[in-house]
Structure 1
Amino acid sequence: MIPQSPLSPLIKARSQTFKAFYATIRSLRNNTSPVDPQADVAPPSDNDFILSILRANPSLRDTRSYLASFGISPKKPQAKPPTQTPELIIPPPPLPKTSSHTKIDATEHALTPSPVIHSILNPIYRRTSLVKLQGPFTDVQLDSITKGLVYLGKLGLVSVIVVETDDRHKGDLDERARIIDEVMRVVTSLEKQGARTRPVMGAVARLGPKPGSAADSNSDPSFIPPETHAYPQDLTPIRSSLRAGEIPVVAPFALDSFCRSVRVDANDLIAGLACSMTEAAALENSSREENEDGSTDPDAVDLTPLRLMIINRHGGIPSYARSGYPHLLINLNQEYEHILETFDRRWKSTHPTALSDLALARTCLTYMPSTSSAIMVSHKSPSSMIGNLITNKPAVSSSLPHALLQGNSKLTPHTPTLLRRGLPVQVIRSVADIDKTKMTALLEQSFRRVLDQDAFYKRLEATLDFVIIVGDYAGTAIVTNEPSPSSSQPISYLDKFAVLPSHQGDGTVDFLWVALHDESYGLGHPFAANPNGGKGGVGEGRDLVWRSRSNNPVNKWYFERSTGHLRMGDWVLFWSDGEKRLKIEQGRRGSDGLSFIEDWEHGRLGEWAGVITKIPSAWK
């Protein structure tokens, strides 16, 4: 039976019950498991293809997103040709007498073709990824990488590989022969895995920015356009190999002004290909005709790069916030300059190409679709590429509590870094600075309810602490100060957390929650000093409290990001403890660690429940 009073669960609670509230995070602070540094070095077995898919653990939204990119493309309805004789109409067999609702369902079921037959008659739509192989690799390492790329091809992502080696300086007499040998090594390794390949030794790009693109559509003055460009006819070797079901392995050569094939940096070639392939695909898609039956060409491959994969020997970009362990997810729009400023000089020896690859990802994602992403991955983690393809998410969510990240066995020096073009983040502290029209549209689309605007904004006038806005109101977090009956310090309450449906699954949710952490319960920690337009991590963290309907499907996500929760009838109360205060207390006690309930935490759940449940609804 659901208790009617929100305080009744607190009255009945015992010490063991209170322990469960705090066990979520604190029991995991020292729960570290050993990591095998040689994991994923040897080529995985055939069964690893299926296991890699299972390990990705895609959600329903992830699956829908994957099918939207690689699944069956919908057919346009065909108009029936006019006939001179009337058609013979055979009525369907009579349905059993039942309710009208059942009749409709049965009729729809009878008219729906078998999904198995439908999938056989409509092959998976193939998309393209640009892959940089930053060698040199041993034969074992290369076989592990190429097997992962072959697996991606089975899932619909076809690789365009550009080879680069760091063991020879540019300008060496034998650099061309060395590059050609490395291309053939990659080709041989791919064919060993059963793939069809084509080495592309001729130049597929030309030196210099594309004529007429000096101004560039990018408004960022620090953005540098690619040093190479290509016209649609230059991409013929890549296009023809993809249509033939082959993986093109491209040597980093380009034509100079004298039509000589010269060695160029692989980053310059890849950036030029990202721009040129996107433009060429737009032209092809606009002129492509469908087959007579309305289906698309089964041999067609969309040249638009959906992914950029940078495969190297050291993994992702090291982060000061994780003691040199890699960044998990990067919002390039917001964090690019910050990463350059916080990059430790010592990392230049262990991660020599990290910053140049960061710039490459930024350039490529500028031209690629907004849904695209880049991943920097070590040769030791080839299975991570499959997980990224299916979910388009980092191996470990960047918005998880740091206690969980520190004890997560997936977080290693070779954990991949996922990069997105991202959106700007800003923090405002006045209701007058809110665009109420855009905010209302965001909240109503996200919650699918009608906002009581007058009452909602009037309440914010009296209680607003701050508002985080991602992009042009693509997402928001609204935090208010609620009066505390026992303390002069108000309760920090997460009133609204919303993301537009069109931006769910593109990293906006994680970017928003990280910014929320940096402005509330994470204040005072070095890893909260991110460029969100707020306090820059300076200050004292406060406990953050929020509520959610007990049947809200988002609660699973909240459970993972909160310190604890309390069920109150139709509601669930969540909270995240101020991290700095707990960290200081933990340091004082040393090996004794934190107790499940600290002295200052007694009675706060009852106080929070009494205040939070009285907050009026914002909806009509």
Structure 2
Amino acid sequence: MIPHTPRVAAAALKASAPRAPRALYATVRGARQPPDHPPEDDPNHANDFILSILRTNPSLRDAKAYLASFGLRPQSIPAPNTQQKVTSHFVISDPISNTAAQPAPAAVAQPSPVIESILDPVYRRTALVKIQGPFSSNQLDSICKGLVYLEKLGLVSVIVVENDEQPRGEEDERSAIIDDVMRVVTGLEKMGSRARPVVGAVVRLGPKSDDSPAPAPGIEPPETHTVPSDLIAIRSALSAGEIPVIAPFALDSFCRSVRVDANDVIAGLARGMVEASSLDQTSPTSAQDSHFEFSREVDLTPLRLMIIDRDGGVPSYARSGYPHLLINLTSEYDHIHDTFDPRWKHSNPTALSNLALANTCLAYMPATSSAIMVSHKSPSSLIGNLITNKPAVSSSLPHALLQGNRSLTPHTPTLIRRGLPIQVLRSIADIDRPKMNYLLEQSFGRTLDEEAFYKRLSKSLDFVIVAGDYAGAAIVTNEQSSNGSEPIQYLDKFAVLPSNQGDGTVDFLWVALHDESYGLGHPFSANPNGGKGGMGEGRDLVWRSRSNNPVNKWYFERSSGHVRMGAWVLFWCDAEKRLKIEEGRRGSAGLSYVEDWEQGRLSDWGNAVLKIPSSWK
């Protein structure tokens, strides 16, 4: 007779329980034990997390954009029955509403949105992350800390691991790759997160049987693809609150798991996750919940692509090999290839291949998505990119300031966006007036005096820079000088649609403006914006702004100087080539002094600019 003890009973129940089907992935836990004091319980760890957020210094627009992606998602409450129709709904941004006058819904047990927001405060999104090693233990700890911080803010990483120094075709290749995956899993768990190794193939080699055309001109479809069942391992990990860490394997035509380049895995996942997410949203079960949707399920659509390696961003010819700060793929991709110095192939051997990966992935990802190429030495940049979606240093700042900025190093991250085409128009006949009118009125919130505005442009237009399909524009005119000198180059309008503010369009447009006006004559102004290609003599650029304009702070940072004139502030940017010549001529002459060509120019500019009539009704 076997004694009936709880241990024996439990073993019997376990033996008789039906076995779950074997999963398509492997979860390895080994003998690792959690640390005695988890990092999240460490005050220093918590303080470091808070400081990392504060250092990003987000603007009000940045905060709103972050909350739009990760904040609470209100939904309408459907009627509890067909007899009574209820139209009231929660409005998070306006707690005082007129819904009190609406008929009260029937007594239905609904979870409190306040309680749910406390228990689960963010809407979780995904990021595709490439960890391109090898890395030392300390370096990997630094990377994992940054990814765990992102998870706390709502961005869950889907990681693909690559080891550049792992030879292909060796006998122990597979076990070595799995070891690299497990090192990342261990590092994430050491930092207080939960992670799951995924060592089965999640993509398939070759095109899809029903392959659709390329998402954009010049974009080649990925070498891999997925079907919905391939994402089961990733979905399972995300639903369990774990970060999936994926080995770079793919299924070939014979259903064999083979090693492939991590870029192929990520490109296939970018496309597959977007397609799977769109299917989830169109599913009839996705809109059945009668209360707020919170982060029980993670949105599969990748919001960011993060490439973490040992080299950092893409070297730039304009910064003596220091990285690009912000890349507009639509207009700069080919130009970056053409200006890539062969010497950089040794210092940054994977820069162009990673740029190509970003070009492919962003073509499938939402227009608001971005990619960042960052060194393991800058993990805090990942938080800054998440909250602000901006480069570490604005690319539209004066070039002299960028060159002397101590925060620019060989490891400064490069932010990459799909961007917009840039074109330069030199004839008023080339302007699409309805689109330009809509842009100006939406941007300024005022009604354009169209007849008077274009009549003035027909006499004074110098050039117009247009971003995309009139998502933004800079209009520059030539104004008559009061002292008979050369015409004054005047920035008449600088406008960006509200829907494109914060997506990089402002910086792309200002850089093009720099290249066509006060930056002419420098090699770093030879950008592919359809204009003069950096050739010519730069001219001072002048503009005015209302003294109470909230944009003035942005203008202060980008201008050479300003002077207040009553209700207006006059800004200007000095021609950079002339400043460079003056700098060399003065040498160590001591204190600055006013040159002959500077005498009286402020009063001349003021007299001309303040007489320009308003463009609004």
Q: TM-score range by the shorter chain?
A: 0.7 to 0.9
- SS for the counterpart of 1:411 is coil
- Residue 181 (structure 2) aligns with: 183
Cα pair distance change 1:384/1:614, threshold 3 Å: same
- Residue 227 (structure 1) aligns with: 223
- 1:130 maps to amino acid: L
Q: d(CA) in 2 for partners of 1:267 and 1:591?
A: 52
- SS for the counterpart of 1:56 is coil
Written as runs of structure 1 = structure 2, the 5 A alignment for 1:131-530 is 131-213=129-211, 215-220=213-218, 223-287=219-283, 288-290=285-287, 292-296=289-293, 298-530=295-527
- 2:50 maps to amino acid: I
> Residue 586 of structure 1 contacts residue 594 of structure 1 at CA under 8 Å; is this kept in 2?
no
> Residue 116 of structure 2 contacts residue 294 of structure 2 at CA under 8 Å; is this kept in 1?
no
Work out the number of aligned pairs and report it.
Answer: 557
* Deviation (angstroms), 1:123: 3.0
* Deviation (angstroms), 1:431: 0.3
Cα pair distance change 1:326/1:109, threshold 3 Å: farther
- SS for the counterpart of 1:588 is helix
Cα pair distance change 1:254/1:347, threshold 3 Å: same
Q: d(CA) in 2 for partners of 1:276 and 1:292?
A: 26
Written as runs of structure 1 = structure 2, the 5 A alignment for 1:466-615 is 466-592=463-589, 595=592, 597-615=594-612
Which ranges of structure 2 fall in alignment gaps of 5 or more residues?
Answer: 1-43, 87-93, 102-110
- Residue 19 (structure 1) aligns with: none
- SS for the counterpart of 2:55 is helix
Written as runs of structure 1 = structure 2, the 5 A alignment for 1:39-58 is 45-58=45-58
* Deviation (angstroms), 1:410: 1.5
- Cα RMSD of the aligned pairs, angstroms, is 2.2
- 2:282 maps to amino acid: S
Written as runs of structure 1 = structure 2, the 5 A alignment for 1:35-184 is 45-79=45-79, 81=81, 119-120=117-118, 123-184=121-182
- 2:60 maps to amino acid: L
- SS for the counterpart of 1:591 is coil
- SS for the counterpart of 2:466 is strand
Q: d(CA) in 1 for partners of 2:112 and 2:504?
A: 34
> Residue 398 of structure 1 contacts residue 510 of structure 1 at CA under 8 Å; is this kept in 2?
yes
Q: d(CA) in 2 for partners of 1:118 and 1:198?
A: 27
**265-274 vs 585-594, which deviates more?**
585-594
Q: d(CA) in 2 for partners of 1:606 and 1:183?
A: 66
> Residue 126 of structure 1 contacts residue 302 of structure 1 at CA under 8 Å; is this kept in 2?
yes
Q: What per-residue deviation string (whole Å, max 9, x for no partner) do you get for residues 423-463 of structure 1?
A: 00000000000000100000000001000000000100000
**TM (normalized to structure 2)?**
0.87
Q: Relative CO higher for 1 or 2, CA cutoff 8 Å, sep ≥ 6? A: 1
Q: d(CA) in 1 for partners of 2:540 and 2:487?
A: 10
Q: d(CA) in 2 for partners of 1:375 and 1:585?
A: 38
* Deviation (angstroms), 1:77: 3.6
- 2:202 maps to amino acid: V
> Residue 241 of structure 1 contacts residue 248 of structure 1 at CA under 8 Å; is this kept in 2?
yes
Q: d(CA) in 2 for partners of 1:487 and 1:395?
A: 44
- 2:595 maps to amino acid: E
- 1:531 maps to amino acid: P
* Deviation (angstroms), 1:409: 2.1
Q: d(CA) in 2 for partners of 1:426 and 1:166?
A: 40
* Deviation (angstroms), 1:298: 3.3
- Residue 23 (structure 1) aligns with: none
**TM (normalized to structure 1)?**
0.87
Q: d(CA) in 1 for partners of 2:134 and 2:257?
A: 23
> Residue 63 of structure 1 contacts residue 390 of structure 1 at CA under 8 Å; is this kept in 2?
yes
* Deviation (angstroms), 1:403: 1.8
* Deviation (angstroms), 1:171: 2.2
* Deviation (angstroms), 1:593: 6.9
Q: What per-residue deviation string (whole Å, max 9, x for no partner) do you get for residues 116-138 of structure 1?
A: 65732663100000000010000
> Residue 136 of structure 1 contacts residue 166 of structure 1 at CA under 8 Å; is this kept in 2?
yes
Q: d(CA) in 2 for partners of 1:477 and 1:374?
A: 26
> Residue 361 of structure 1 contacts residue 374 of structure 1 at CA under 8 Å; is this kept in 2?
yes
> Residue 74 of structure 2 contacts residue 293 of structure 2 at CA under 8 Å; is this kept in 1?
no
- Residue 23 (structure 2) aligns with: none
Cα pair distance change 1:298/1:451, threshold 3 Å: same
Q: Percent identity?
A: 72
Cα pair distance change 1:118/1:617, threshold 3 Å: farther
Q: d(CA) in 2 for partners of 1:106 and 1:258?
A: 62
- 1:213 maps to amino acid: D
Q: d(CA) in 2 for partners of 1:106 and 1:233?
A: 46
* Deviation (angstroms), 1:282: 0.3
Q: What per-residue deviation string (whole Å, max 9, x for no partner) do you get for residues 464-503 of structure 1?
A: 0000000000000000000112234100000000000000
Q: d(CA) in 1 for partners of 2:384 and 2:377?
A: 14
- Residue 20 (structure 1) aligns with: none
- 2:150 maps to amino acid: L
Q: d(CA) in 2 for partners of 1:156 and 1:189?
A: 19
> Residue 586 of structure 1 contacts residue 593 of structure 1 at CA under 8 Å; is this kept in 2?
no
Q: d(CA) in 2 for partners of 1:524 and 1:500?
A: 30
Q: What per-residue deviation string (whole Å, max 9, x for no partner) do you get for residues 487-543 of structure 1?
A: 341000000000000000000000000000000000001110000000000011100
> Residue 452 of structure 1 contacts residue 619 of structure 1 at CA under 8 Å; is this kept in 2?
yes
Q: d(CA) in 1 for partners of 2:429 and 2:526?
A: 26
